[in-house]
Copies of this chain bind each other. A is one copy, B any other.
Amino acid sequence: MDSTKPLILVVNDDGINAPGISALTAVAKEFGEVVVVAPDKPQSGMGHAITLDSTLHLKQVNNFDDTIAYSCSGTPVDCVKIAVTQLLPRKPDLVVSGINHGSNSSINVIYSGTMSAALEGSLECIPSVGFSLQNHSIEADFSASQYYARKIISQLLQEKHNKDVCLNVNIPNLSTNLIAGVKVCRQAKGNWEENYDERTDPMGRKYYWLTGKFVLEDKGTDTDEWALANNYVSVVPVQPDVTDYKIINDLKSLEK
């Protein structure tokens, strides 16, 4: 491997066979040496899950022509940990995750395997970005996503940012010429109103499928949801401290 070029780790949560990771790998290869480590099966909604109670298996695959690639039996976060600890010749210069089939704006960031993998990269002090396209289809057109991934990767590699910078990038489902540009914003307040589709199996036992509707609870014009609704690519910097600083003082009564 050429140690003068940037080393880029590519991960995702849709699995090693998803079209989105091929689209991202193609862009990453324009900038340096690339290693792909991705789950061997879809892992959407895995959040920051890690494999504690069982073992991990790796398999070298050739999904990406001459690019070194492994499928991993674990979660997206496992992929980052084992890549950095076991597989890569040195700490990578960048972790890119995605391109996710489906957006990870607003509250979805905490359920997202794509973004948890990126956050894990930043916890290892590697600048990291998750890319997600607002289209769940397996046949989604990733060309606008690739255009903006190229732009953002280029800037991250050139500009001075902290080693633990982590970006949640969501791309509207539009062709490149219809996208209005990039907005750096905050995570919109929103939530899911869940429902379960209750069914009965042939043995008479009930089982459930999760369904739901996203509810935006935020009228701000500085949010990722606003940006996407107005045809912008949203970029939200994320970090792992979930302390609710606003209410620490209100809770002091608990010390009595």
Interface residues of A (CB under 8 A from B): 42, 44-53, 55-58, 75, 77-78, 81-82, 84-86, 107, 109-111, 116, 119, 123, 152, 155, 159, 161-162, 165-167, 181-187, 189, 191, 194-196, 198-199, 205-210, 235-245, 247-248, 250-255
Contact = CB atoms under 8 A, between A and B. Distances in A.
Contacts of A254: 152, 155, 182, 184, 235
Given A82-B208, A244-B239, A47 B45 contact: no
Contacts of A55: 199, 207-209
Nearest to A183: B255
B240 A208 contact: no
Nearest to A193: B85
Contacts of A47: 46-50, 77, 116
A237 B241 contact: no
Given A184-B252, A247-B237, A52 B162 contact: no
A103 B116 CA distance: 21
Given A161-B251, A238-B244, 4 more contacts: A57-B206, A183-B255, A184-B248, A237-B251
A247 to B, nearest CB: 5
A48 B111 contact: yes
17 contacts: A45-B49, A47-B77, A49-B111, A55-B209, A57-B205, A57-B208, A58-B206, A107-B240, A110-B240, A159-B253, A166-B244, A184-B254, A186-B243, A236-B243, A239-B244, A240-B242, A242-B242
